[in-house]
A and B are shown apart, each in its own frame.
Chain A
Amino acid sequence: MFNNFDGKVVLDNLHFLIEGMQTTLLLTVVAIIGGLLLGTLLALARLSPFKTLSFVAGTYVNFFRSMPLILVIFWFYFLVPHILGRPVGGFYSVLVAFVLFEAAYYCEIMRAGIQSVRQGQIYAGQALGLTYQQNMRYVVLPQAFRNMIPILMTQAIILFQDTSLVYVVGIKDFLVSADLVANRENRILEMFTTVAIVYFVICLSGSLFIRRLQEKFNL
């Protein structure tokens, strides 16, 4: 089976594959940033003393965490153009789906992070006259983020892998690009082996980086 293994096909289509990787990375980065921002707001809402706010945020989180990601991707692919009344392109609908989906997970991570900050720290900020917002911004969230860095990054690695699900709506990410090349050049083994190695190397580097970070900063 490996007799006629031809690595050259990868080099020949390198440019095409790199474009696919750019889509994958763009999707990952935007979903992380958007998910983190929305997730932090959701976490603050969930922990808010206002019952309605906390209920709405809680429902949101439970809803998205009960849905398979692939369903959410499908759903937004058809839903977003329908709501906006015009086609937006698969990429943007997928982006929205990822941000909203990830936000539910980041919310729970941030909530745990905020709750990991000791009550005494909150008292100390309050006693100095900081308002709720100031206390969150200058005292609680910086510590919460610090405590959460390893889990946030692990979630980022999972997200990086999950972006490959966009193949269901035909977005040309890294995996789909490789698949196209594989079929066009009839080099399935070479292409999928390459894809596996690339995912493996990136995710392993990420994991090792997190471990080093944990050791260095005693997280």
Chain B
Amino acid sequence: MIQLQDVSKWYGDFQVLDTCSTAVSKGEVVVVCGPSGSGKSTLIKCVNGLEPFQKGDITVDDVSVGDKATDLPKLRSRIGMVFQNFELFPHITVAENIKLAQLKVLNRNEAEAGQKAMQLLERVELADQADKFPAQLSGGQQQRVAIARALAMDPIAMLFDEPTSALDPEMINEVLDVMVELASDGMTMMVVTHEMGFARRVANRVIFMDEGRIEEDCSKDEFFDSQRGDRAQTFLSKILHH
């Protein structure tokens, strides 16, 4: 469903992505990890074209992201994305956050969009918060709303960019639970995260990145069990023992 072919990206002279290739098939959950500055967030933002890249190509459902002729807004509307800092729109209510793109992009009517919003809010157990503003919610609640907002577009795949990194520890699980449930429903997911517990539970594959390169790309079992490269080993031992 998602294919990356030799993707390279530079900020000026600095190369942030170096010939990255991988693929995510339908229903697969792929976790991307690596030290900070390794390019994993940049990589996932390239998948829906939020970040441009200079070389290689990415296709989602056989539509090229790099092709200038591609209708990017249309393609993005089919790919859900969840951000580290939630990025709910602060000036409108929770329900309006979930309705906005349904109304303006999918041209659903108010009743349809409202119904979908309530249905998804119930799914993330926040139906009672519909009329509040994002700032009145906890971080964990905001991130669940952000997931609901993405799901309202009936996406063919979901991208998660460090969805729990900005959360207090006690709120991490409520967000991960929603993600686990989503994975078990068969959603295609690409998840940048340091949550190795999540990776163990639901990932099919794990990608390890360092200095803009994909250093490891293997099944979950291989990743956690077998001998890995030194850097992946060091990284894992650092994040698993603290």
Contacts and interface: CB of A to CB of B under 8 A. Distances in A.
A99 to B, nearest CB: 28
A59 interface: no
B50 A123 contact: yes
Nearest to B101: A128
A129 B76 contact: yes
B73 A130 contact: yes
A25 to B, nearest CB: 30
B186 interface: no
A124 B100 contact: no
Contact of B105 (A130, A139, A146): A130
Given A120-B83, A126-B76, A143 B90 contact: yes
Given A134-B104, A138-B100, A143-B91, A127 B85 contact: no
A123 B44 CA distance: 12
Contact of B81 (A127, A131, A138): A127
B200 interface: no
Contacts of A123: 45, 50, 81, 83, 87
Contacts of A138: 89, 100, 104
A121 interface: yes
Contacts of B45: 123
A87 interface: no
Instruction: Report the contact-size class of chain A (Cβ under 8 Å from the partner).
Output: 10 to 19
Contacts of A127: 48, 50, 76, 79-81, 83, 150, 159
Contacts, number: 64
A146 B91 contact: yes
Given A120-B85, A123-B45, A134-B104, A128 B77 contact: yes
A146 B45 CA distance: 28
A131 B83 contact: no
Interface string A106-127: 0000000000001011011111
Interface centre among B80, B83, B104 (most CB of A within 10 A): B104
Interface in A189-205: none
Interface string A149-180: 00000000000000000000000000000000
Contacts of B105: 128-130, 134
B89 A139 contact: yes
Contact of B153 (A118, A125, A129, A131): A129
A124 B83 contact: yes
Contacts of A129: 73-74, 76-78, 101, 105, 153
Contact of B149 (A126, A128, A146): A128
Contacts of B100: 128, 130, 138
Contacts of B104: 130, 134, 138
Nearest to A123: B50
A142 B97 CA distance: 14
B87 A120 contact: yes
Interface in B60-80: 72-74, 76-80
B91 A142 contact: yes
Instruction: Across the A-B interface, give the 8 residue pairs with the lowest CB-CB distance, nearest first.
Output: A129-B77, A124-B87, A128-B101, A127-B81, A129-B105, A120-B87, A129-B76, A131-B73
23 contacts: A118-B85, A123-B50, A124-B83, A124-B87, A125-B89, A126-B50, A126-B72, A126-B76, A127-B50, A127-B76, A127-B81, A127-B83, A128-B100, A128-B105, A129-B73, A129-B77, A129-B153, A130-B73, A130-B100, A138-B89, A138-B100, A143-B89, A143-B91
Interface of B: 45, 48, 50, 72-74, 76-81, 83, 85, 87-91, 100-101, 104-105, 149-150, 153, 159
Interface of A: 118, 120-121, 123-131, 134, 138-139, 142-143, 146
